Amino acid sequence: MSEALKSCPFCGSEDLELDNLVDADDFYVSCRKCQVQQIANYTKEEAARRWNARSLETEMGMMLLSIFSHVSHGGPTREEGEALLKKAGLI
CA dihedral 20, 33, 82, 84 (to 10 degrees): -110
- Output the smallest distance, CB 91 to Zn ion, in A: 19
- Taking CB under 5 A as the binding criterion, the range among 10-18, 46-54, 58-66, 72-80 that sits at the site for Zn ion is 10-18
- Taking CB under 5 A as the binding criterion, the range among 3-11, 44-52, 66-74, 78-86 that sits at the site for Zn ion is 3-11
Query: Nearer Cβ to Zn ion, position 27 or 36?
Result: 36
- Output the smallest distance, CB 40 to Zn ion, in A: 17
